[in-house]
Amino acid sequence: MTRRNSAGRFATKRTPPEDLEFRCPDCPYCLTETGTDGDSFVCYECEASWSMDGRRGRWSDPDELACPSAIKPFDRDGLSPEHESIRHVVERCLLADDHGGKHKAADYYQTWDDDDPRITKETK
Rounded distance, CA 121 to CA 124, Å?
Answer: 5
- Does residue 1 sit within a domain? no
Do 85 and 122 sit in the same domain of this protein? yes
- Does residue 51 sit within a domain? yes
Q: What is the pLDDT of residues 20-32, one digit of tens each?
A: 888 999 998 888 8
Rounded distance, CA 30 to CA 106, Å?
Answer: 8
Whole-structure pTM over 0.75, yes or no?
no
Domain limits for position 37: 24-60
Q: Check residue 82 and give its pLDDT.
A: 87
3 Cβ neighbours under 8 A, 6+ residues apart: 10, 11
Do 87 and 113 sit in the same domain of this protein? yes
Asked whether residue 77 carries a pLDDT value surpassing 90, the answer given is: no
Q: What is the domain count for the chain?
A: 2
Do 75 and 28 sit in the same domain of this protein? no
Q: Check residue 124 and give its pLDDT.
A: 47
Asked whether residue 122 carries a pLDDT value surpassing 70, the answer given is: no
- Does residue 98 sit within a domain? yes
> Which helix (H) or strand (E) element contains residue 85?
none
pLDDT mean across residues, the chain: 87
- Does residue 43 sit within a domain? yes
Rounded distance, CA 120 to CA 103, Å?
Answer: 13
- Does residue 29 sit within a domain? yes
